[in-house]
Amino acid sequence: MFRFIAARLLQTIPVLFVVATLTFFMVRLVPGGPFDAERNVPPEIKRELEAYYGLDKPVFQQYLDYLGRLVRGDLGPSYKFANRSVNEMIASTFPVSLQLGGMALGLALLLGITAGVIAALRPNSALDYTASGISMMGICLPTFVLGPLFILVFALNLRWVNASGWFDSADRILPAATLGIAYAAYIARLTRGGMLEILSQDFIRTARAKGASEARIIFRHSLRGGLLPVVSYLGPAAAGILTGSFVIETIFQIPGLGRHFVTSAFNRDFTMVTGIVIFYAVLIVFFNLLVDIVQIWLNPKLKY
Amino acid sequence: MCGLQKIDAMPLLQVKNLRTYFHTRNGVVRAVDGVSFEIEKGQTLGIVGESGSGKSVTCYSMLGLIPQPPGRIESGEAIFDGVDLLKAGPPQLRKIRGKRIAMIFQDPMTSLNPYMRIEDQLIEPLLIHERTDRRRAVELGVQALKDVGIQDAAQRIRSYPHEFSGGMRQRVMIAMALITKPDLLIADEPTTALDVTVQAQIIELVKRMQAERGMAVIWISHDLGVVAGLCQRVNVMYAGRVVESGPTDGIFRTPQHPYNRALQKSIPALQPKGVELYTIAGMPPDLSKPVAGCAFAPRCEFVQDICRTPVELKAGASGQSTACVRVQNGDLKL
């Protein structure tokens, strides 16, 4: 197991190198630079800035400099937020997104797995159609519809929580619910499918013939195999949900990492874009590794 | 047990007029259509018939293992030790399943849970029905594996099913079924998916376990040879009905029902070499269409108009019951 994990971690090095290289050159292919704005900076100041950040050097030299710092874990200075490094930016915003994403993920798993199992227990019954229908609605309703709707009902009409902001713990409820429900809906469908597949297997008949109760059949005999599709889905989904969502963070005014994904690209904040993409890639690799480990643990037929 | 005399006086299991229909989009499939039989304590009953003749559905119906819907038990009773299994509620059936009536299945490759260790599956009946504490249950599990001839049982009990061969898995299934010392074992074609040498081993194993423990066995099979060597009584099923029933010897040596006779004639090994193999003309009937009279009539070489009238299984002189009007009337001797 240790060797498997070590090998997988080694494999991530070339992956991250390719990601860093592609992103570095692609952001520079886009017209415009970090110091272009509607009101132009005087040319001599712009030259000073570019010299300060090393942007006057040949691109390939910049690339080598960037890689040199990257190896030491330094993602460079932000070109847009003066005196702040990309590392600092991620360090200050990621915990917020992590907290929001963690709550949303927990909610999504709880709601999704419960609804999926219930639907699978009585396939094609009223209960199944209700659970499947609600989850289909959850998939179809985009967060930018659901979020304002929640604000309207729970913040403006009922006045239970604040409409936006990120101050006390009650502020976490609406954004976590909005973000979680979309994922819950998808998890519910995956769970239903996985459970139906397992419940139709011969070994479930064996379990029934042994006199196992319905609860025992679900929890001891089915859930382990039935959740495999959900686990595969969770790798990329967890990386996405934990790094924050531009839409949610904008609607609820949350100081998370998600909005930097979009704003840094508009700002041509080269280091910020590259830095966030690399950070995201690290998370994806990490969660996929986690998923593989969980799958090995769930499915005894898998060998490493 | 206080009801010991009563148990001895009655058959262990008595099935009367069992009907199981499947209500599908293409109509009502009469999978089991008025089946009656009984089995005594310690006896072995064979149920033979071709695929789709209702052998397995009969047994699944008694244990409440038919998916409902689309399946529905339309009528009948199955009295096991004074309890009608067909009217028992799910909790009561669960107490009997795996404790007093155990089952083994056709395909040992898919009948064991691939996500659970042998140990956990094997001792499950003990945990469910006898509330044995885990350590004791594992001890009994290891012993049960030894009893069915698995080497290094104490180590192998920690394995997963995919680490076992087909024959070994069927041994595990048998150990699991017998771990609660049931009164009745239902074996649903347990050797069909195994190769011939392993088949023989499994049959010997069941015979030995039966002799040691005195349990009754219902052996479902389409392999007439296996049934002949194993069972005291045999039911021959066709299109959801028992067409002939009696002691094994009579069923095989003096078949009375034309279907049973045709079935015996179709065994390749019993025919002279070089002769074209015997087959029964026509196809088994579509069970979603109601049949008036004998279901075998359209394929029967002795068919007469009287065969279209309803027919019941009736005991003849030799203790062999036949559901053929002409045999019952005495105008057909095979």
pLDDT, tens digit (0-9, with 9 covering 90-100), for A242-255: 887 888 888 888 88
Return the CATH class of domain A92-263.
Answer: mainly alpha
Q: What percent of chain A has pLDDT over 90?
A: 30
How far B308 CA sits from the closest chain A CA (Å)? 38
Query: Using omega within 30 degrees of 0 as the cis cutoff, is the peptide bond preceding A236 cis?
Result: no
CATH number of the domain that B27 lies in? 3.40.50.300
Which residue is it, tokens 């010897």?
A: B249
Between CA A223 and CA A273 the distance in angstroms is 40
Instruction: Please give the pLDDT value at position B224.
Output: 85
Distance CA B149, CA A286 (A): 46
- Count the residues in chain B: 334
Q: Is the pLDDT of residue A165 over 90?
A: no
Pair of tokens at residue A236: 């990329």
Q: Which has the closest alpha carbon to B54: B69, B79, B37?
A: B37
A66: number of Cβ within 10 Å? 21
Is residue A295 within 8 A of residue A233, CB to CB? The reply is: no
Count of pairs with CB atoms under 8 A, one residue in A, one in B: 74
Q: What is the pLDDT along chain B (334 residues), one digit of tens a residue?
A: 444 444 456 888 899 889 999 988 888 888 888 898 889 888 999 999 888 888 889 999 988 888 877 888 888 898 888 888 888 888 888 999 988 999 998 888 899 999 999 999 999 999 988 888 899 999 999 988 988 888 888 889 999 999 998 888 988 998 898 888 899 999 998 888 778 888 888 888 888 888 888 899 999 988 888 888 889 899 999 988 899 998 988 888 888 888 888 888 888 777 777 778 888 888 888 888 887 888 888 888 888 888 888 888 888 777 888 888 888 877 777 6
Residues of A in contact with B120 (CB under 8 A): 220
Nearest chain A residue to B129, by CA: A211
Any B CB within 8 A of A69 CB: no
Range of the domain at B247: 4-100+180-329
Considering only CB atoms, which chain B residues are within 8 Å of A216? 128
At residue A38, the pLDDT reads 65
Asked whether the CA dihedral A47, A51, A53, A56 is positive or negative, the reply is positive
Note the helical H segments in chain A: 2-29, 43-53, 59-71, 86-121, 126-140, 143-150, 173-199, 202-209, 214-216, 223-226, 228-242, 246-251, 258-266, 270-298
Average pLDDT, chain A: 88
Question: What is the structure's pLDDT at A229?
Answer: 92
What is the token pair recorded at A165?
């902001």
Give domain status of residue B56, yes or no.
yes
Instruction: Name the residue ranges covered by the structural domains of chain A.
Output: 92-263
Binned at pLDDT 50, 70 and 90, residue A304 comes out as: low
Interchain CB distance below 8 Å, A205 and B65: yes
Chain A CB contacts of B114 below 8 Å: 203, 225, 299-301
Q: Does B173 touch chain A (CB under 8 A)?
A: yes
Beta bridge partners of B104: B187
Report d(CA B131, CA B124) in Å as an integer: 10
Kindly state the tokens that stand for A17: 């190198």
**Could you tell me if A124 lies within 8 Å of chain B, comparing CB atoms?**
no
Angle at B69 between CA B68 and CA B73, to 5 degrees: 55
Confidence band (pLDDT; 50, 70, 90) for A191? very high
Which among B107, B110, B124 has CB closest to A210?
Answer: B124
pTM greater than the 0.90 cutoff: no
Burial (CB count <10 Å: 0-12, 13-18, 19+), residue A91: exposed
Rounded distance between C-alpha atoms, residue B35 and residue B61, angstroms: 11
Q: Is residue B169 part of a domain?
A: no
What tens digit of pLDDT does each residue of A22-78 get? 999 998 888 877 777 666 778 888 888 888 888 888 888 989 999 999 989 888 888
* Residue B150 covered by a domain: no
- State how far the Cα of A164 lies from the Cα of A157, in Å rounded to an integer: 14
Pinpoint the alpha helices (H) of A141-218.
Answer: 143-150, 173-199, 202-209, 214-216
Residue B109 lies in a domain: no
Task: Report CB contact under 8 Å: A224, B115.
Answer: yes
DSSP string, B222-277: S-HHHHHHH-SEEEEEETTEEEEEEEHHHHHHS--SHHHHHHHHT-GGGSPTTSPP
pLDDT of residue B9: 64
Rounded distance, CA B226 to CA B224, Å? Answer: 6
Residue B95, both tokens: 């107490």
Q: Tell me which chain A residues have a C-beta less than 8 angstroms from the C-beta of B94.
A: 211-213
Q: Please, what is the Cα angle at A1 between A289 and A230, to 5 degrees?
A: 35
* Contact status of A196 with chain B (Cβ, < 8 Å): no
Residue B253's CB: how many other CB atoms inside 10 A? 10
Q: How many domains does chain B have?
A: 1
User: Is B162 touching A (CB cutoff 8 A)?
Assistant: yes
Locate the chain A residue with the closest alpha carbon to B160.
Answer: A300
By CB neighbour count within 10 A (0-12 exposed, 13-18 middle, 19+ buried), where does A271 fall?
buried
Distance from CA of B6 to the nearest CA of A (A): 26
A contacts of B110 (beta carbons < 8 Å)? 201-203
Nearest to B180 by CA among A96, A210, A80: A210
3 state DSSP class of A32: coil
Task: Say which residue the tokens 């038990």 belong to.
Answer: B73
Q: Which residues pair with B77 in a beta bridge?
A: B16
All residues at 6 or more sequence positions from B84 whose CB lies less than 8 Å from its CB, including other chains: B77, B78
Give start and end residues of each alpha helix (H) in chain B: 4-9, 55-62, 90-96, 118-122, 124-125, 134-147, 153-156, 166-178, 196-213, 224-230, 248-253, 258-265, 325-329
For tokens 């005014």, name the residue: A253
Q: Give the minimum alpha-carbon distance from B40 to chain A in angstroms, rounded to a whole number.
A: 22
Q: In angstroms, what CA-CA distances link B255 with A295, B196, B268, B302?
A: 57, 27, 17, 14
| Angle, in degrees to the nearest 10, between helices A228-242 and A173-199 | 160
Q: How high is the pLDDT of residue B334?
A: 67
In a domain, B120, yes or no: no
Residue A74 C-beta-side C-alpha neighbours within 13 Å: 10
Is residue B155 domain-resident? no
- Report how far residue A231's alpha carbon sits from residue A105's, in angstroms, rounded to the nearest whole number: 13
Looking up tokens 């949900």 gives A241
B147 inside domain: no
Would you list the DSSP string of B269-309? GGSPTTSPPP--SS----TTS---S-TTGGG-TT--GGGGS
